[in-house]
Structure 1
Amino acid sequence: MKRSLFSAMSKVTSLLGNKNPFAQPMDPNEHTVWLQDNTAYRPKGGNGNSWEAEFVAAFFAKNPNRTRITEMVADVADKLNLGHGDASEETIAKRLEPWTTEILPGHTVRISIGGRQEAKLGPGGSSGVSKNVIPMAAAGKETEDGDTVDSHAVGVDTHPMTTTYAEAKGWAVISDIDDTIKITGTGDIPAVLRSTFVDDPTPVDGMPALYAHLHRALNKAPFWYLSASPYNLYPFLHEFRNAHYPPGPLLLWNASWMDVSAFVLALTKEPEKYKCDKMRELHRNFPSRAFVCIGDSTQRDPEAYAQMAREFPHWVRAIFIRRVTGPGNDESKTGPDRFEKAFKGLDRGLWHVFDDPTELYARVDALVAGDPLGTGSGTGDAPPTEPESSQKRGCVVL
């Protein structure tokens, strides 16, 4: 059967979702799969010792459209005033491959979860993405909050995925990516293109050490990385996060296979609603954890986090905003009026705008000290149990 006809049939039958009787196992010689990091949780109605997690996989045909890549490389090089044959064109081409690779609906893959069990993921829907909730096999010892386990596709050469175990209560971290932990230059289009397609990804100075401290101080708290970047950048951002920051799912914009102009638009438009919707999903799954929210001033992180603090005042325990200066970041984004307006009505002890990550060490330690159990226990939608002298509306008074 011709590939184009097979692809068309796969797209039609993929509308049946997980009940698709025509699903096919992926062929490692023809296809590839991205396994996305996830978080294991206690299932409702479980026996107290059980865990489950939603496993997400994205399926693709293996061979990208080389003609399209050549056109897009020329487009990026032109926007950055790079001469033809510039040494960076090879890097640009590699990073643009996900923009031109055909998605693969209606396929499955088997994975090994920590070497303890195997499970089938898929079939993927019309977007090529599958989601399967899988009970986790016992590890042979009592699994603790913050433990991790790696899984890999059986017989397929691809990056492994990491599952982080998260109890119903405890600390947790939501972090933005661009210009919060990675230098992107969101306020300047050429800077966005260069940092995404040409340069080695660079962490914001001091943030890897701060996040390592957070991970220790908050008792191996789970992290979620929330960004307006499209899923095309998942391998690129996953590799960067693995190199510099604690494990945790990358919650990226579900908009892929775009041209470069559409990517820039997605990254520079206001993603406040998208981020709030994602955080509401986290609240539904973990309503009793105590969240630390970290972002920057380039987009709408202050407004999005403030909205969550108003909706769930004892869920959001601290908001830290990195002030970003430079091209595209004028006084309207970085001045005190912007932040006072964004956080109007919230306890002043809840939020802090920082220029240097070292400002946050003492605040993190005080946040932990303000919790009598040191784990975020007692937080959530119920009033906090801490004395008013040290805690107010779930916010440490520093």
Structure 2
Amino acid sequence: MFGAPQRRKHETPEEQQTRSQGDFDRVETDLAHVPSLRLTPLLGIIASFLGKGNPLIQPANPQQHRVWLLDNTAYRAPGGRFHDNQTWQVEIVACIFIKRGREEVGKFVATIADAIGLDGDIGLNNRETRDRMAERVQPFVDSIAPGRSISLDIPITRHTVIKRKLNPSDKNGIISQVVRIGGTDVPNGTIIHPSLRHWSHNVSMETEFASPTGWLIISDVDDTIKYTQTCNAVGILRTTFAEIPQPIAGMPTLYSHIDKSLTPTWFYLSASPYNLYPFLRTFLRQVYPPGTLILRNSSWMDMSGLLKSFTQGTETYKVERMEKLYRWFPKRKVVCIGDSTQSDPEAYGEIYRRHKHWVRAIFIRKVTDVVNMEDKNKDKRFVKAFEGVPESVWRVFEDTEDLYREVDLLRQDENPNY
């Protein structure tokens, strides 16, 4: 997990340049002037450090709390935490918030609208835009709920339901816990829907079982498959809060081809904060193959933190998350897909150098439709990022049509050892 000092510590020179050119400091200062409503009860913070056996832990309840269960992927990793490669394991991630009324969102919506220059028909006079912004801002306004516990029903089969009480939420209001769920004979690709126990309405997640071997795709989201303008502070705010999300041209069709050709397990690895999970999940499910969405598990005490998430420590964050995927799926064959706006080339180059037999291909989209990309798109940047990586492994592309043959060649890679 990355706090603010750690993010600054891991900020690369390229990220510093992006922040300078994209006017991030000024916009973050404007956003930080809005008083935060995300006040966290002191007892909850204390409880989050004491563990599940302490008397300050309280169960979450549907009257006061909003709970998200994030989709995940079950795995059987040899040498894993439970040292049993026959038992399915899964990392369960849940986010717990204290509910707040929609009326408290107004000042945040107005501040963002002012920062991105919304007016007239596309501004706050447009009800559709106003409602869209309020919905996406809400998770940044709701207070986090540390020190809260939840229990799950996990339906392994039609007749077998595992009950699990999870550890309490941490200081960021997040529960992240690896649990054993048994079911050694569950076929690859099986999907189940674990749900909250003792809840007034259905809250569930999707768990897909992925066998140890086969293909695995690690895909960036912003400006790889979704238009975000991550090099520009105002662009991020506009595309994140005000606009209907737009897929990158050609990428939905390409991903459909990859899905049919390689039948992979999908992971979408984004530097966005977890507050954007409902927004991004909905977009992905509408346009791209279903998969597990991995987001930064930091909690922001003001809206300026959103911009920092995109521009500080992204390379280190992504490498750490990919290392976790390697521990889960060391025998999978991996394709990494990203773009040139953030640190995808550097992160993917690093993970290849660490695990040469794991990563089979790296595809980087050269982004030419946003500002401040001249230095990021220079050949010398990619050559440096992929130092030690064979040229046959990595490819920089502008037109998705260039990748179909590459995918078809990957399909012929049937090494039984991976």
Shared fold (TM-score greater than 0.5)? Answer: yes
**Cα distance in 1 between the residues matched to 2:225 and 2:259:** 15
Counterpart Cα distance in 2 of 1:262 and 1:336? 32
Shift of 1:24: 2.4
2:148 to 103, 107, 130: 107
Q: Report if the CA contact (8 A) 1:13-1:22 is conserved.
A: yes
**Does the CA contact (< 8 Å) of 1:34 and 1:57 recur in 2?**
yes
User: Given the alignment of the two structures, is residue 86 of structure 1 paired with residue 160 of structure 2, yes or no?
Assistant: no
Deviation digits for residues 213-256 of structure 1 (CA, Å, limit 9, x no counterpart):
2222223x221111111111111111112222223222212222
**What residue is the counterpart of 1:25 in the other structure?**
59
> What is the TM-score of this pair, normalised by structure 2?
0.81
Q: CA deviation at 1:322?
A: 0.9
Equivalent residue for 1:34? Answer: 68
TM-score, normalising length: structure 1:
0.85
Q: SS where residue 194 of structure 2 aligns? A: strand
Cα distance between partner residues in 2 of 1:312 and 1:137: 29
Does structure 1 retain, via aligned residues, the 8 Å contact 2:48–2:169? yes
Q: Report if the CA contact (8 A) 1:20-1:106 is conserved.
A: no
Alignment of 1:274-313 (within 5 A): 274-313=317-356
Deviation at 1:318, TM superposition (A): 0.3
Partner of 1:385: none
Matches within 5 A, 1:185-196: 185-196=229-240
Structure 1 residue identity aligned to 2:389: L
Give the conservation status (yes or no) of the 8 Å contact 1:55–1:132.
yes
Which residue in the other structure is 2:409 paired with? Answer: 366
1:136 corresponds, among 181, 188, 198, to 181
**Residue 210 of structure 1, aligned match among 251, 254, 264:** 254
Q: Name the aligned partner's letter for residue 86 of structure 1.
A: N
Alignment of 1:49-68 (within 5 A): 49-63=86-100, 66-67=103-104
Pick closer, same or farther for the CA change 1:60–1:336 going to 2, 3 Å. same
What's the offset of the Cα at 1:160? Answer: 2.7
100-109 vs 225-234, which deviates more? 100-109
Q: Aligned-pair distance for 1:48?
A: 5.9
In 1: Cα distance, 2:395 partner to 2:167 partner:
43
Q: Distance between the aligned counterparts of 2:322 and 2:249, measured in 1?
A: 26
State the match for 2:212 in structure 1: 168
- Contact between 1:98 and 1:257, CA under 8 Å: does it hold in 2? no
Going from structure 1 to structure 2, the CA distance change for 1:174 and 1:159 (only over 3 Å counts) comes to farther
Q: Go from structure 1 to structure 2 and tell me whether the alpha carbon gap of 1:331 and 1:9 turns closer, same or farther (over 3 Å shift).
A: closer
Residues 161-214 of structure 1, C-alpha deviations (whole Å, 9 max, x = no match): 111212222211111010111111112222211110011112212222222222
Deviation readout 1:333-373 (Å, 9 max, x if unpaired): 2232322222133211101111122322221121120324x
CA-CA distance at 1:270 after TM superposition: 5.2
Code of the residue aligned with 2:252 in structure 1: it is P
Higher relative contact order (CA 8 A, sep 6+): 2
Where does structure 1 lack aligned partners over 5 or more consecutive residues?
Answer: 380-398
The alignment yields a C-alpha RMSD, in angstroms, of: 2.5
Secondary structure in 2 matching 1:332: coil
Q: 1:91/1:306 Cα in 2 relative to 1: closer, same or farther (>3 Å)?
A: same
- Distance change >3 Å, CA 132–CA 346, structure 1 → 2: closer
More off after superposition, 207-216 vs 273-282: 207-216
From the superposition, tell whether residues 89 and 280 of structure 1 become closer, same or farther in structure 2 (CA, over 3 Å).
Answer: same
> Are the aligned partners of 2:172 and 2:299 in contact in 1 as well (CA < 8 Å)?
no
Q: In the alignment, is residue 260 of structure 1 matched against residue 310 of structure 2?
A: no
Question: CA contact under 8 A between 1:162 and 1:247: conserved in structure 2?
Answer: no
Amino acid at match of 2:125: D
Q: Pick from 359, 369, 383: which aligns with 1:326?
A: 369
1:31 corresponds to which letter in structure 2? H
In the alignment, is the contact (CA less than 8 A) between 1:64 and 1:100 conserved in 2?
A: no
How many matched pairs? 368
Could you tell me whether the CA contact under 8 Å between 2:365 and 2:397 is conserved in 1?
yes
8 Å Cα contact 1:32-1:158 kept in structure 2: no
